[in-house]
């Protein structure tokens, strides 16, 4: 089974709606990162949230982290068509070692006009 897993695996919303992607992980972490991958591009980081943080914001994006339940969420408010992408969570493989990441399989988000 995956060491990091997003859910649901796919979402479809209309522009202006809010959406939340969830991530569960199975290891102790020092940080969790959310990445977005648009079609034909490589992933790009959206938010990094450290294990001692509970919430992090970046514009319309809000990430939460609950280390007790080993889960994180990424919320996007006022979605736009350009938010259509695959969203990944990624964690460090070993506590304190961020040189390699554990990646989930991603959630595919489609934002319709």
Q: Which residues bind other proteins (CB under 8 A)?
A: 2, 30-31, 33, 40-45, 48, 50, 88, 92, 97-101, 103-106
Min CB(43)–other proteins separation in Å = 5
Whether 75 and 65 have beta carbons less than 8 Å apart is answered as no
Nearer to other proteins, 36 or 111 (CB): 36
Min CB(111)–other proteins separation in Å = 21
Nearer to other proteins, 19 or 105 (CB): 105
Min CB(55)–other proteins separation in Å = 16
Closest CA to 72 of 2, 3, 6, 1: 6
Residue 79 to residue 47: CA distance in whole angstroms = 17
Whether 23 and 65 have beta carbons less than 8 Å apart is answered as no
Closest CA to 47 of 58, 59, 60, 31: 58
Nearer to other proteins, 40 or 113 (CB): 40
Pairing relationship of beta strands 107-112 and 10-14 according to DSSP bridges: parallel
Nearer to other proteins, 20 or 103 (CB): 103
Min CB(83)–other proteins separation in Å = 18
């Amino acid at each position: 089974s995956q060491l990091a897993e997003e859910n649901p695996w796919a979402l479809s919303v209309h522009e202006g709606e809010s959406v939340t992607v969830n991530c569960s992980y199975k290891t102790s972490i020092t940080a969790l990162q959310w990445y977005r991958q648009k079609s034909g591009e490589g992933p790009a980081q959206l938010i990094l949230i450290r294990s001692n943080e509970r919430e992090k914001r970046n514009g319309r994006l809000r990430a939460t982290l609950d280390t007790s339940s080993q889960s994180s969420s990424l919320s996007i408010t006022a979605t736009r068509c350009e938010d259509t992408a695959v969203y990944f969570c990624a964690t460090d493989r070993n506590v304190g070692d961020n040189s390699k990441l554990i990646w989930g399989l991603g959630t595919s988000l489609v934002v319709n006009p």
